[in-house]
Each structure stands twice: as structure tokens, then as C-alpha cells.
Chains A and B, each alone.
Chain A
Amino acid sequence: MKNINVIKAEGLTKMFGDFTAVNAITFEVKKGEIFGFLGANGAGKTTAMKMLIGISTPTSGKAQVAGFDVYTNPDNIKKNIGYMSQKFALYDDLTVKENITFFGGIYGLTREQIKKKRCQLVEELGLKDVVNELVSSLPLGWKQKLAFSVALLHEPKIIFLDEPTGGVDPITRRQFWEMIYKTAHNGTTVFVTTHYMDEAEYCDRVSIMVDGKIEALDSPKKLKEHFNAASMNDVFLKLARSPSPPETSGLPKGKGDEYDNQKEQKTI
């Protein structure tokens, strides 16, 4: 079961004018896997993700998501994936219940399905007392967990998480990752981008993007062995600091370094 590829990208490229944002990336993601998609800001991970979730058409290359082609069948991809962005993405001026009803509705769930899901979700997250409160009144951690659950309402095959734990306290992050594990355990593939290198350690496999290219792809353990590094943070720093091949350097050099220094401070 673990050997079915739910995401297949081959030479996937996106160009904006002369600038190559994503440069011929090739990778596969297996069913039920937690796949970490790492890279500095501007390395192209958001652009790559947008192509996979069907809201941006690739310039060249091939990609299949949940068995559907990104060029010819983005509509079917959309039905089979969930998405949660780094910006918190529920409606603040709607209640918890209204948010669930709305998002269930746009994914075509019936009223009964929505009701069943809602009860289940409210129970699991312990939101019983606030189900009729506006989302704006909830603490950020709760909102984030709720947003994650809402993205899973329609039982997608793959869930894309774009820096889901930005700005959340360590305890909530921990709980959030427990939810991710549980989701993956139930057979949903998790595709996650993150800034936190310690989170990279939780993934089954990670890819690291530098200047639009995937420079490394393996399990955290193997990556650490290969780069002779103590932690994923070190792996990341080694990769980002090694001079990139001239034909791929779309970004001015040194930008990645600066960014890494920030990361270093954050994660240490």
C-alpha cells in the first residue's frame, strides 16, 4: 500500500518571464507518507506547491496528483486534495459551525455528512462550548487545529500544508504534529512545507529546494548520514551555503545565507 505514488513530478518547471522559479524538479510522494518540502523563502517551494494543487499551470514538465494530470485535470485534483495555507484561513466573522458548514458545502458534502463530520470534529477538538462562537474569539492554536480539520472535512487523498505551524507555541505545534501523524496513519498523504528544521525530523522523507532546484531528497536519517550532519538544521545550512551551479542561480547569491542565519537563531 505504501508503494503507490500519489504525487509524481517529472521535470516540473515554472518560469516567470526570464526568471525560473521552479527548475525541473522531479520527485515522487507515496501514499500515507509525510513528505517535508523544505527551502528558504524564494527557493520556489510555494510556486511548486501551487502547480501541484492546480492553481498555477506549469511552464513545462509533467506532474500527476492523486492520479490526475495537472494540465488536463486540475478540477479532479482539487476534489481530491485538502489545502491549508500559512495564512490562517477560516472566516473570522463566521462561527465555528458556520465555517464547517461552508467549507463542507463547497466540497459538495451533503447536509447529513456535514452534520456528522461536525459532531465528530467538535468532539475531537473539544470545541463543544464554542461551536456557536465566532472564530475570531478562539486562540490562534485552536484556530489552526480547526483549520486543519476543516481542510480534511471531505476526506482528501492528499493534504497540502503550507507552513501550517507558523507563529504557534511549541505545545500547539506538538499537538498539531500529532494530528498530522494521525492523518497520515489513516492513509492520507501529507505534503508539508515548514520553516522549522526540528519539524523536518518528523517527516518520513524531506526534499530541500535551493534556488528552484531540489538539491536533496531522502529520509531525514539518511540525509544526516550523507551530509555528515548532527541535525536537519545542519543539513539545511550545508546545502544552502554550498555554491549553487551557475545556470540555476536566479536569485542573488547570499540571500539564502542571510535567511539561514535567521533560521539558525530561531531554531537554536
Chain B
Amino acid sequence: MKRFIGFIKKEFYHIFRDKRSLFILFGMPIAQIMLFGFAITNEINNVDIAILDKSKDATTQEIINKVSSSKYFSNKQLIKNEAEIESVFKKGMVKAVLIFENDFSKKLIKENKATIQIITDATDPNTANTISNFTNSILRKYQQEINKDIKIAYQIIPQTQMAYNAELKSVFMFVPGVMTIILMLVSAMMTSISITKEKELGTMEILLVSPLKPSQVIIGKVVPYIFLSVINAIVIIVLSIFIFKMPVQGSLFLLGAESILFIINALSLGILISTISETQQTAMMVSLMGLLLPVMLLSGFIFPISSMPKILQIISNIIPATWYIIILKGIMLKGVGLAILWKETLILLGMTVFFIALSIKKYKIRLE
């Protein structure tokens, strides 16, 4: 045991004396969470729009007021003719243009209908979609207001509720994803690099010739990273609770336990990578390409799994991060417990056991 403690102490010297790994360990999580929390967002706020009002009457004025008083839109710019539409879009001044047809009020009263054209800049399809949805809902509301005295025989009123994230905050979606990425990065990449570093320097050979057992060497190498990953997870959760008001509805204990399971899973992947790579560079590339990219793209963190092609859905199912993100969202946002998440937990556990077994086997082969 004393040997073991000496080993871990040595490992911490390595980590704290290497500025690069220190940055990845502590700078990265904070930078990422801040970036995703503040800068990178798919919420729509303060979108610049232009308005072409051909009738300029009371009704159009009222609608314009409604639109511009919503928090989604701002900086309305009035344009005078169709020719200007093209140019404001091309200059990138606005994301959408609303066009009221001639004699809007009159038509509305006489013919009971009038048209508004919504043109959006669909170079960014998501934003375009959201803008058109928002405008539609503003118009619908206005319509209900002016129709409130009239009784319509059959009426279907949709009541939409955005459950678990009423304000549609994107940070609620990013926090579980970022946490997954950070834990993956620290656990898998850093361990694989630190193990291959010993191989590269020749110290691994010295360790294997020493009375330390190979398993002790490997455990000694990963224990510091388990510790640091747990600290990272805590930092991320604290930041997201206090800065982004992210709720943790479920049990913090369960959250911690699942995170440790995921950390161990990532560590075993890291060991696996170190058994197949000879240099630190290879280990880093394999970790980035083989782990980080799939986690970013296929785990459901950014792109919904259900809209992926079948083959990618299958791949996404074998990525541990996919299940960890489901668990995280379940615990943090929905407040569910093991009664619901047992399946995901079991899958994660199974994967962890599989990876550990595989890396032990690989490690033994390499020793031969």
C-alpha cells in the first residue's frame, strides 16, 4: 500500500508540473462550460427584422408594435419597396422581413382576410424556422384578441407546454453534453497519454521490471485521474447550478454515482487506447478521433439521435456517452431515479465491464 501511495504521489507531480495537462484538466472545463453557456446558443433573442408596410394603417401598426415589443425581435427597420428586401438580406442586416399587403385593414374587414408575408434568411435553417414560428404565434395571438367577441362554432385550442425546460434554455441541453465531453477528455485522453508517455520514455519497462504488479501500475496511473475527474464533475455541476440556474431535480448522490461509473468507463477506454498506441501523439489522435468526435456528434448531445440515419443510430447506441447523457438529463431535468434509469445504468455498467476486460486482455498480450 505504501508503494502504491508513493506511486500516486509521483503521478500528481507529473500532472501538476505539466502546464499543458493542467490546462486541459482545469482550464478546459471552465472555458467550455462558459462558452456553451453564454456564447454558443441556439436560442433566438433580439433578431433584427425589417418591415415593409404597404398599407400603413391602424391594424398593421398594431401588429408591428406587437412584434417589436416581443423579446425575440429588435431593431425593426422600415423599408420602402420590394427591391430593398434583397439588399438588406445580402448585407446581412436582418434575418427576416415582414411584408404587409396593400389595404391590409380594409381587406381584413371587407373580405375577412389579409396576408402577411414572412421571408426569412434560411442560410441558417434553425434560426429561420424559429423566427417563422415565433411570428406565427404572435399573429395567432393577435387574431384571437380581435376575434374574442365572435363565437366560432368549432374551436380547437392547442395548449403547448415545454416540460422540464419551460424557457427552452439551451444551456440545459449543453451542460450534460459538456460534462460528458470533459469527463471523457480528462479520463480517457489524459490517462492514455500519461500511460503512453511512460512507454515512450522507457520508464514503463522499469516499472514492469519492478516488484509492482502490472495491475498496480495501471491502477496507480488511473487513480489520480478518477480523483481529478470527480473534482471536474463537481466544478461543472456547481457552475451550472449557480451561474446558469440549472436545476438538479433528482438525487445528487445518484448523479455522483452514475458519474463515477461513467468516469471508470472512460478510464478503461483510455487504458485500451494506451495499449494500442506507442506514442503520446497517437494516443491523443485516437482519443480525439475515436472518442471526442463521436461524443460530440453522435451521442445526442447536439444532434437528436432520432433524426439520424439508421446506421448512425446504431453507432450512437454503442457510445457510452449516449447513455450517460440520457441519465444526466433524466436526473438533472426530470428528477427521475434508478426506477426509470436502470436500463441505461445497466448498459453503461455492461460497457464498463466489457472495456475493462478487453483492456486487461490487451494489456497482457502486450506484455508478452
Contacts and interface: CB of A to CB of B under 8 A. Distances in A.
Interface of A: 53-57, 75, 78-79, 81, 83-94, 98, 101-103, 105-108, 160
30 contacts: A53-B209, A55-B205, A56-B367, A75-B211, A78-B211, A79-B211, A81-B209, A84-B206, A85-B206, A86-B202, A87-B205, A88-B201, A88-B202, A89-B203, A90-B203, A91-B10, A91-B201, A92-B201, A93-B13, A102-B7, A103-B206, A105-B2, A105-B3, A105-B7, A106-B7, A106-B212, A107-B210, A108-B3, A108-B211, A160-B209
B82 interface: no
Contacts of B212: 106
B206 A93 contact: no
B209 A54 contact: yes
A56 to B, nearest CB: 6
A94 B10 contact: yes
Nearest to B200: A87
Nearest to A86: B202
Contacts of A106: 3, 6-7, 207, 210-212
Contacts, number: 74
Chain A contact residues, majority secondary structure:
loop
B111 to A, nearest CB: 81
- Report which residue of B203, B205, B208, B209 has the largest number of chain A beta carbons within 10 angstroms of its beta carbon: B209
Interface in B5-52: 6-7, 9-10, 13-14, 17-18
Contacts of A90: 203
B86 interface: no
B42 to A, nearest CB: 43
Contacts of A103: 206, 210
Contacts of B205: 55, 83, 85, 87, 89
A160 B6 CA distance: 24
A88 B202 CA distance: 7
A98 to B, nearest CB: 6
B368 interface: yes
A57 B209 CA distance: 13
B366 to A, nearest CB: 11
A91 B210 contact: no
Chain B contact residues, majority secondary structure:
helix
Interface string B197-241: 000011101111111110000000000000000000000000000
Nearest to A102: B10
B59 to A, nearest CB: 74
Contacts of B209: 53-55, 78, 81, 83, 160
A59 to B, nearest CB: 10
A79 B205 CA distance: 15
B14 A83 contact: no
A91 B203 contact: yes
A89 B198 CA distance: 9
Nearest to B13: A94
A89 B202 contact: yes
Contacts of B367: 55-56
Shortest 9 CB-CB contacts between residues of A and residues of B: A87-B202, A105-B6, A83-B209, A89-B206, A93-B17, A78-B211, A89-B202, A102-B10, A106-B210
Nearest to B6: A105
Interface in B354-368: 367-368
A85 B208 CA distance: 12
B347 to A, nearest CB: 37
Nearest to A57: B368
Contacts of A88: 201-202
A75 B9 CA distance: 24
Contacts of B7: 102, 105-106
B200 to A, nearest CB: 9
A55 B6 contact: no
